[in-house]
């Protein structure tokens, strides 16, 4: 097995976005991958009908109910997951996988609208044979055919390495600006990082959901990102 991948199910109201998320989550059902569908308690309670309609995974076997919520811990009105809890879900699943004869090489997370291709699985297998500890994902637009190198849509870390990085890992939330670049730079200050692009992970373009105003979650991620940059500048990473 190549990887256990955590994705956060989002109760989109827009049907097009729901269809895109369904397509992306279905792409994870391929040999070499195990998906863990992370669901916020708020979304499970308030959007249970939509959850069962979407059927994002073999619920509850391959799902994880998240207990941390940005609304409770940071404030604001956007219910968002924390990356660390999603990574814990992937790691716990990797340790208890019973349908494989070895522990998955990678644990990671992706935005829920990222389509995984066979090329992506092959790339993870290739990197597992190299001296690489972390890989970050850059999506390719299905509309333009161009890779989006300015942002990060997910990352993978060797399964055996997550416990070593977990405690100091910055407590970013998913779904607001700054987490992808912050995670990438944080890892680059500590270990060897590879970038995966070239159409290994695909994306259907849509209007952005990120709020660049000064919401609590945005300020939270921006503060963490700035701390990472300061540590890099001072040579503390």
pTM across the whole model:
0.92
What is the per-residue pLDDT across 51-64, written as a single tens digit (0 to 9) for each?
Answer: 777 766 554 457 88
pLDDT at residue 86 in the model: 97
Residues 177, 185: Cα–Cα separation, whole Å: 14
**Predicted confidence band at 211 (pLDDT cuts at 50, 70, 90)?**
low
Return left, alpha or beta for 154; rule: phi > 0 is left, psi -120 to 50 is alpha, else beta. Answer: left
Q: Which of 87, 52, 94, 51 is nearest to 179 (CA)?
A: 87
Q: Residue 169: its pLDDT value, please?
A: 97
Q: Find where tokens 């993978």 sit.
A: 156
Mean pLDDT of the 128-151 span:
88
Look up the CATH number of the domain holding residue 56. Answer: 3.90.550
pLDDT, mean of residues 122-129: 94
Q: Where are the alpha helices (DSSP H) in 129-215?
A: 162-165, 179-188
Helical pair 179-188 and 216-234, crossing angle rounded to 10 deg: 20
Q: How far apart are CA 172 and CA 157, in angstroms?
A: 16
Per-residue model confidence as pLDDT tens digits over 140-179: 888 888 888 778 999 999 999 999 999 999 999 999 999 9
Residue 49 pLDDT:
76
pLDDT over 60 (residue 216): yes
CA 19, CA 143: separation in Å to the nearest integer? 16
Q: Dump strand ranges (E) for 29-111.
A: 33-40, 63-66, 106-110
Confidence category of residue 208, pLDDT binned at 50, 70, 90? low
Judge contact between 55 and 35, C-beta under 8 A.
Answer: no
Strand residues in the chain grouped as ranges (E): 3-8, 33-40, 63-66, 106-110, 114-116, 134-137, 140-141, 154-158, 193-196, 201-203
Tokens linked to 171: 């407590």
Total of domains in the chain: 1
pLDDT category at 73 given cuts 50, 70, 90 is very high
When the pLDDT of each residue in the chain is averaged and rounded to a whole number, the result is 88
- With 80 as the cut, is the pLDDT of residue 209 above it? no
Is the predicted pLDDT of residue 98 greater than 70, yes or no?
Answer: no
Note the pLDDT of residue 50.
Answer: 79
User: Predicted confidence band at 223 (pLDDT cuts at 50, 70, 90)?
Assistant: very high
Average pLDDT over residues 77-83: 95
Q: Which domain holds residue 162?
A: 3-234
Q: What is the pLDDT of residue 60?
A: 47
Angle (CA) 190 196 197, round 5°: 140
* Percentage of residues in the chain having pLDDT higher than 90: 61
């Amino acid at each position: 097995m190549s990887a256990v991948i955590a994705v956060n199910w989002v109760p989109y109201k827009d049907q097009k976005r729901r269809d895109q998320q369904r397509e992306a989550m279905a792409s994870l059902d391929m040999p070499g991958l195990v998906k863990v569908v992370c669901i916020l308690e708020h979304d499970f309670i308030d959007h249970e009908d939509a959850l069962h309609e979407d059927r994002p995974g073999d619920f509850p076997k391959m799902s994880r109910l998240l207990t941390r919520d940005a609304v409770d811990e940071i404030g604001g009105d956007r219910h968002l997951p924390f990356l660390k809890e999603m990574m814990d879900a992937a790691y716990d699943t990797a340790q208890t996988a019973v349908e494989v004869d070895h522990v998955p090489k990678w644990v990671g997370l992706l935005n829920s609208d990222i389509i995984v291709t066979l090329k992506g699985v092959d790339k993870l297998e290739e990197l597992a044979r190299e001296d690489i500890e972390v890989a970050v994902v850059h999506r390719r637009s299905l509309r333009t055919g161009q890779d989006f190198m300015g942002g990060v849509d997910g990352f993978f870390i060797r399964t055996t390495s997550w416990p070593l990085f977990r405690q100091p890992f910055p407590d970013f939330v998913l779904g607001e600006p700054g987490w992808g670049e912050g995670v990438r730079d944080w890892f680059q200050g500590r270990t060897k990082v590879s970038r995966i692009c070239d159409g290994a992970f695909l994306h259907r373009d849509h209007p952005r959901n990120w709020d660049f105003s000064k919401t609590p979650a945005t300020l939270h991620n921006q503060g963490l990102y700035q701390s990472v940059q300061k540590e890099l500048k001072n040579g503390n990473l």
